[in-house]
C-alpha cells in the first residue's frame, strides 16, 4: 500500500466509541506502546472507520488487512461515507475526533488571561468566535482587555479569580457552567516568575516557594479539579491546556530553582492527565504548552505586582515595573523576544492538530532535552548548562 502518515482510527467498542491518532509506516499500523492505549486495552467490537490524515478521505480494505497482530483481525471492517448533514446529525458514528478544528461557539476559560500569553490566546479565540472567559487576579487588567477587545467588536467575559484559592476557582467554574452549560477549552495558564535569578536555593525565602507553587502548580490542579469532572460528565469533546515552560518543563536552568521546579511539576502532572484521560476513554485531551521559542514579551518580570497578601514578605518594597521590550533593547547583547501572539498561534494550531507537546522546534529546547536525556541514559553526571 502506498500511504505512510497519520491516520485517525475510530473503533466502536462494547462500551463507547474511541478515536485515536496513530501512524502507518511501511504499510504497518504503528500502535502506541502504552498498556492503557484504548486501541488495545478495551474489548473492541469492530473497527468502524479509518481516516487518512492527508489526501485520501477514508480507508481501503488493503490498509486494514496490513494491520499486524491478532487483536484486530476478527473485527468486521466496514467503510462508511460521511452521512448527509455531517457527523453532528449522526451521533452513533459521531466524529469523536481528537481534533477540534472549529473554535466558533466553543466555551473557553483562560486563567491569567488578562496579560501576555493568556491575553493573546483570549484575543485569538474571541476572533474565531469562541465564547471566552478571562479568569485573572488583576481586575484592572481584565477591564482593560475587555475594553480593548470591545473596541475591535469582540465581546468577552471576565471574572476576578485567584487560582491559588480553590474556593475562588470553584466559584468561577460554578458561574461558567451555569452561564454557558459547558467548557470546551480550559487553559490553566496563570503563572508567576519569582525574583530569584542567580540566588542559591538555600537563601530563597519560604514565601517565594509557597507563592510560586501555589500559582504555577496548585493553580493548575485547582483548575483541573474545578472543571474536569463536569466537562467529563457533559461527554463533549474538550481540551485542557496547561502552561509549562522550557525552563524546568524540559530542562532546568541553574539560575531559577523555584520557577524551574514548578514547571517540571506542570509537565509531569499534564502527562499523567493525558494517561488518565486515555485510560478512561474520555473525550477530553490534555496538552502541555511551552511558550517560546524565546523569552516571551509579557509582564512576567512584574509578577510581584500580583502577589496575594498571603504570600507577601513583610517589609519588602514593591519592585519597580520592568518593560521587557525596553530591557531587551537596552541590553546590548543579542536578546531575542517572542511575541505572545506567536505563542497563541502555536497553541491553537497544536490543539487543532491534536498535539500533546506544544513546543516550538526553534530555540534551544531540543538540544537541552537531548543533553539531559543522554546524561540520564548514560548515567553521566549533568554538566553545567551553557
Ligand X SMILES: NC(=O)c1ccc[n+]([C@@H]2O[C@H](COP(=O)([O-])OP(=O)(O)OC[C@H]3O[C@@H](n4cnc5c(N)ncnc54)[C@H](O)[C@@H]3O)[C@@H](O)[C@H]2O)c1
Sign of CA dihedral 195, 197, 200, 201: positive
For ligand X, the closer of residues 112 and 281 by Cβ is 112
Computed on alpha carbons and rounded to an integer, the radius of gyration of the chain in Å comes to 23
The answer to whether 180 is a known catalytic residue is no
- What DSSP letter does each residue of 130-146 carry, written as one string? -EEEEEES-HHHHHHHH
Identify which range of 12-20, 156-164, 311-319, 358-366 contacts ligand X by CB under 6 A.
156-164
For ligand X, the closer of residues 131 and 307 by Cβ is 307
Pick one of 59, 124, 299, 365: the residue that binds ligand X (CB under 6 A): 299
296 is an interface residue for ligand X by CB under 6 A: yes
User: Closest approach of Cβ 373 to ligand X, in Å?
Assistant: 20
Number of neighbours of residue 308 by Cβ within 10 angstroms: 13
User: Phi-psi bin for 142: left (phi > 0), alpha (psi -120 to 50), beta?
Assistant: alpha
Pick one of 38, 96, 98, 112: the residue that binds ligand X (CB under 6 A): 112
162 is an interface residue for ligand X by CB under 6 A: yes
Pick one of 38, 98, 257, 291: the residue that binds ligand X (CB under 6 A): 291
Pick one of 295, 347, 358, 359: the residue that binds ligand X (CB under 6 A): 295
Pick one of 124, 141, 221, 267: the residue that binds ligand X (CB under 6 A): 141
**Do 211 and 192 touch, CB atoms closer than 8 A?**
yes
Query: Per-residue x/- marks for ligand X, 302-341, CB under 6 A?
Result: -x--x-----------------------------------
Pick one of 300, 346, 347, 359: the residue that binds ligand X (CB under 6 A): 300
For ligand X, the closer of residues 9 and 137 by Cβ is 137
Hey, what's the cell of 269? 502532572
111 is an interface residue for ligand X by CB under 6 A: yes
Q: Alpha-carbon distance 94 to 383, whole Å?
A: 51
User: Closest approach of Cβ 111 to ligand X, in Å?
Assistant: 6
CA distances from 367 to 122, 246, 251, 259 (A): 31, 11, 10, 20
CA distances from 54 to 8, 182, 207, 286, 297 (A): 11, 32, 52, 24, 35
Q: Alpha-carbon distance 24 to 4, whole Å?
A: 5
- The active-site residue, picked from 80, 259, 275, 321, is 259
Pick one of 298, 347, 354, 365: the residue that binds ligand X (CB under 6 A): 298
Q: How many residues bind ligand X (CB under 6 A)?
A: 30
Q: Is 327 helix (H, G, I), strand (E, B) or coil?
A: helix
Q: Alpha-carbon distance 270 to 261, whole Å?
A: 14
Hey, what's the cell of 303? 509578577
For ligand X, the closer of residues 111 and 130 by Cβ is 111
Q: Is 18 helix (H, G, I), strand (E, B) or coil?
A: strand
Q: Is 336 helix (H, G, I), strand (E, B) or coil?
A: coil
Pick one of 123, 243, 256, 270: the residue that binds ligand X (CB under 6 A): 243
HSE-CB at 182 with a 13 A cutoff on CA atoms is: 14
**Binders of ligand X among 204-223, rule CB under 6 A?**
215
The residues of the shown chain that bind ligand X, judged by CB under 6 A, are 111-112, 114-118, 136-138, 141, 161-164, 189-192, 215, 243, 245, 291, 295-296, 298-300, 303, 306
Q: Which positions are catalytic? A: 259
Amino acid at each position: 500500500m502506498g500511504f505512510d502518515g497519520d491516520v485517525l482510527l475510530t473503533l466502536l467498542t462494547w462500551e463507547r466509541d474511541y478515536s485515536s491518532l496513530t501512524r502507518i509506516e511501511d504499510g504497518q499500523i504503528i500502535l502506541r506502546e502504552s498498556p492503557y492505549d484504548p486501541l488495545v486495552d478495551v474489548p473492541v467490537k469492530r473497527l468502524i472507520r479509518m481516516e487518512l490524515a492527508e489526501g485520501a478521505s477514508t480507508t481501503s480494505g488493503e490498509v486494514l488487512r496490513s494491520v499486524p497482530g491478532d487483536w484486530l483481525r476478527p473485527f468486521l471492517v466496514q467503510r462508511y461515507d460521511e452521512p448527509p448533514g455531517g457527523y453532528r446529525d449522526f451521533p452513533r458514528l459521531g466524529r469523536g475526533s481528537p481534533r477540534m478544528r472549529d473554535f466558533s461557539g466553543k466555551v473557553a476559560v483562560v486563567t491569567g488571561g488578562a496579560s501576555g500569553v493568556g491575553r493573546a490566546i483570549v484575543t485569538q479565540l474571541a476572533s474565531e468566535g469562541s465564547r471566552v472567559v478571562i479568569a485573572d487576579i488583576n481586575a484592572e487588567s481584565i477591564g482593560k482587555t475587555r475594553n480593548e477587545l470591545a473596541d475591535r467588536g469582540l465581546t468577552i467575559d471576565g471574572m476576578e479569580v485567584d487560582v491559588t484559592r480553590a474556593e475562588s476557582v470553584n466559584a468561577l467554574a460554578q458561574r461558567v457552567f451555569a452561564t454557558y452549560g459547558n467548557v470546551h477549552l480550559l487553559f490553566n495558564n496563570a503563572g508567576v516568575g519569582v525574583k530569584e535569578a542567580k540566588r542559591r536555593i538555600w537563601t530563597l525565602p519560604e514565601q517565594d516557594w509557597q507563592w510560586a507553587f501555589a500559582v504555577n502548580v496548585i493553580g493548575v490542579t485547582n483548575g483541573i479539579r474545578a472543571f474536569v469532572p463536569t466537562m467529563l460528565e457533559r461527554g463533549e469533546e474538550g481540551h485542557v491546556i496547561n502552561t509549562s515552560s522550557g525552563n524546568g518543563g524540559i530542562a532546568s536552568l541553574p539560575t531559577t530553582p523555584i520557577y524551574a521546579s514548578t514547571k517540571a511539576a506542570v509537565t509531569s502532572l499534564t502527562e499523567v492527565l493525558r494517561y488518565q484521560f486515555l485510560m478512561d476513554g474520555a473525550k477530553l485531551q490534555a496538552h502541555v504548552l511551552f511558550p517560546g521559542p524565546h523569552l516571551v514579551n509579557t509582564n512576567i518580570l512584574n509578577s510581584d505586582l500580583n502577589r496575594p497578601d498571603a504570600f507577601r514578605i513583610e517589609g519588602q518594597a514593591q519592585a519597580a515595573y520592568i518593560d521587557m521590550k525596553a530591557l531587551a533593547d537596552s541590553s546590548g547583547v543579542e536578546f531575542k523576544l517572542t511575541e505572545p501572539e506567536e505563542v497563541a498561534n502555536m497553541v491553537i494550531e497544536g490543539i487543532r492538530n491534536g498535539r500533546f507537546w506544544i513546543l516550538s522546534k526553534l530555540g534551544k529546547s531540543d538540544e537541552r532535552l537531548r543533553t539531559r536525556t543522554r546524561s540520564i541514559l548514560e548515567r553521566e553526571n549533568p554538566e553545567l548548562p551553557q
